């Protein structure tokens, strides 16, 4: 080129060669994918190979729990490890029945079969009356134990504690018993408005193992969406009957089973309980609940007769085939205070009634 000095370069020579469009597109697409693979697979595999799968899972659970602690509007009520367990449910589905006879009901209980009776509360005036708002206005001095606050709160004080707008009661949840001094007067009214379901043999809720009549054993539960109770075990030998008045709850149930020669909890059977439905479950069943919509109000009754004899015999035989330390380890997973409680269940007979308590 005329006038060009030795050693000089043209402008075109100084500029880098442009990357072709196809190559740039490939790089743009593959880089995020490569990073995702590194984060999702390569790093976890490396961590597992160095620390071990169990240690990595524990670290992951702690990380999720810490994140939930700082981001959740309510105190965290279920650890990530338990949530992970619930995300691997059983293929078994709970059976939903209606128009069940007393004879059929006794057979269901004898098998220890969890079941939902969909028409159990038809005709009950309390079904259309009992909800969180009704209890706040009608029984303002009655109390429930609030799991989030860690102390008892009067129903009438819920709007003051959590805000006047029901939409602001985001963390309200807890339980209440009929025998508390503050609740005894209201409990008379609660029980009077809840008739015995049509399928229950007469007197089941008031029959005691000693043969005399007792007051129904009932515990109430209140909860707002997003609240619940982590998987746990109720240390009683009696059968539970849960009555759902308002709100919608997710449940899980599992029980001890022998799998590949080892004693473990069965994969959780997960299901939904709707208003107007009654659900039965039994001794030794691990369970959790979570409110998914509406303010939930439910009652849980306990009765000792009819008894789940067939189920209980299988449960007892399964437990007795393992060393006591393994049984205690299994029940300790549920945070049970008495890990030997199932061994203390007794069968009693009074007339034609068989009791398990």
Domains in the chain: boundaries: 23-71, 95-356
Q: Mind listing the pLDDT tens digit for each residue in 298-324?
A: 999 999 999 999 999 999 999 999 999
Q: Would the pLDDT of 2 be above 60? A: no
d(CA 273, CA 197): 17
Query: Half-sphere exposure of 16 toward its Cβ, with a 13 Å CA cutoff?
Result: 3
Amino acid 211: pLDDT: 72
CB 162 within 8 A of CB 169: yes
Q: Distance (Å, rounded) from C-alpha 239 to C-alpha 310?
A: 13
First to last CA, the chain: 106
Q: What is the pLDDT of residues 44-69, one digit of tens each?
A: 555 556 656 777 787 888 888 788 87
pLDDT value of residue 1 = 47
Confirm whether pTM is higher than 0.85: no
Q: Per-residue pLDDT tens for 140-164?
A: 999 999 998 999 999 999 999 998 7
CATH 3.40.50.10490 fits 95-356, yes or no: no
Mean pLDDT computed over 228-243: 95
Statement: residue 5 has pLDDT above 60? no
What does the pLDDT look like over 266-305, one tens digit per residue? 999 999 999 999 999 999 999 999 999 999 999 999 999 9
For residues 193 and 70, give the distance between their C-alpha atoms in angstroms, rounded to a whole number.
43
- Residue 335 predicted with pLDDT over 90: no
């Amino acid at each position: 080129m005329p006038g060009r000095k030795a050693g000089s370069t043209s402008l075109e020579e100084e500029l880098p060669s442009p990357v072709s469009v196809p190559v740039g597109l490939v790089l743009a697409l593959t880089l995020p994918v490569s990073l995702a693979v590194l984060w999702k697979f390569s790093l976890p595999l490396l961590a597992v190979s160095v620390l071990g799968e169990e240690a990595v899972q524990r670290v992951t659970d702690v990380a999720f729990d810490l994140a939930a602690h700082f981001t959740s509007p309510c105190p965290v009520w279920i650890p990530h490890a338990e949530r992970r367990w619930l995300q691997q449910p059983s293929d078994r589905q709970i059976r939903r029945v209606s128009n069940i006879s007393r004879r059929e009901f006794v057979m269901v209980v004898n098998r220890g079969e969890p079941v939902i009776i969909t028409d159990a509360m038809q005709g009950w005036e309390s079904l259309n009356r009992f909800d969180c708002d009704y209890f706040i206005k009608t029984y303002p001095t009655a109390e429930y134990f609030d799991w989030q606050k860690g102390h008892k709160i009067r129903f009438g004080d819920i709007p003051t504690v959590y805000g006047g707008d029901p939409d602001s009661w985001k963390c309200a949840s807890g339980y209440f018993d009929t025998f508390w001094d503050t609740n005894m007067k209201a409990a008379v009214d609660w029980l009077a408005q809840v008739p015995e379901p049509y399928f229950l043999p007469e007197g089941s809720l008031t029959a005691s193992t000693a043969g005399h009549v007792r007051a129904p054993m009932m515990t109430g539960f209140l909860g707002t969406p997003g609240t619940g109770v982590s998987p746990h075990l109720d240390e009683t030998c009696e059968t539970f009957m849960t009555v759902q008045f308002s709100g919608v709850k997710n449940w899980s149930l599992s029980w001890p089973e022998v799998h590949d020669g080892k004693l473990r909890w069965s994969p959780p059977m997960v299901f939904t309980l709707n208003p107007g439905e009654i659900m039965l479950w039994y001794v030794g069943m691990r369970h959790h609940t979570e409110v998914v919509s509406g303010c939930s109000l439910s009652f849980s009754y306990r009765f000792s007769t009819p008894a789940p004899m067939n189920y209980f015999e299988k449960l007892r035989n399964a437990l007795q085939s393992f060393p006591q330390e393994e049984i205690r380890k299994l029940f300790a997973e549920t945070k049970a205070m008495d890990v030997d409680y199932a061994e203390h269940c007794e069968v009693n007979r009074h007339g034609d009634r068989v009791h398990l308590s």
